[in-house]
C-alpha cells in the first residue's frame, strides 16, 4: 500500500516505513547494470591475461561502484535496486561476450565408479 503520493520524480515513494526516491533508485539500478557489465569485462581480461586491459577495467569498475555504494549507504532499500541492476548487467554482458559462439553441449552424467 502506497502511503505517500508521488507528484514528481523528486518525491519519495513510501511503503509503510520504507521510503525511497525513484530517481535515485533508477540511478542505482543503472549504475549497477554498468558496474556489473564492467566487472564481467574485467574478469574476462584477467582470464585472458591482458594486464593493461584488466587494469583499465578495474579502475572503471571501482569508479562506477562508488556511485551505487554512496547511494545505498544513505538508504538500505537501494540495495534491492543495486542487486537487480547487478543481475541485469551480468546477464547482458555475458550474452554480449558469448555472441557468435556455438552453444556448448551439455556433459552427460557419468555413472558412479565402482570401488573394488
Q: Is the pTM of this model over 0.85?
A: no
* Count: domains in the chain: 1
Residue 115 has pLDDT above 50, yes or no: yes
DSSP output for 53-78: HHHHHHHHHHHHHHHHHHHHHH-TTH
Q: Is residue 108 part of a domain?
A: no
Grid cell, residue 43, equals: 574478469
Q: Is residue 40 part of a domain?
A: yes
Lowest mean per-residue pLDDT among 51-60, 82-91, 93-102 = 93-102
Q: Is residue 75 part of a domain?
A: yes
Read off the pLDDT of residues 61-73 as tens digits, 9 standing for 90 and up.
877 777 667 766 6
Q: Domain span at residue 93? A: 21-97
The pLDDT confidence band at residue 5, using thresholds 50, 70 and 90, is very low
Amino acid at each position: 500500500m502506497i502511503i505517500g503520493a508521488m507528484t514528481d520524480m523528486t518525491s519519495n515513494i513510501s511503503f509503510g516505513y520504507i521510503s525511497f526516491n525513484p530517481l535515485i533508485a533508477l540511478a542505482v539500478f543503472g549504475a549497477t547494470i554498468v558496474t556489473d557489465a564492467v566487472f564481467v569485462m574485467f574478469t574476462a581480461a584477467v582470464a585472458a591475461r591482458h594486464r593493461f586491459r584488466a587494469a583499465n577495467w578495474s579502475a572503471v569498475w571501482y569508479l562506477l561502484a562508488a556511485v551505487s555504494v554512496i547511494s545505498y549507504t544513505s538508504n538500505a532499500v537501494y540495495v534491492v535496486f543495486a542487486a537487480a541492476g547487478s543481475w541485469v548487467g551480468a546477464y547482458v554482458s555475458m550474452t554480449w561476450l558469448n555472441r557468435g559462439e556455438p552453444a556448448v553441449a551439455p556433459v552427460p552424467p557419468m555413472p558412479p565408479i565402482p570401488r573394488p
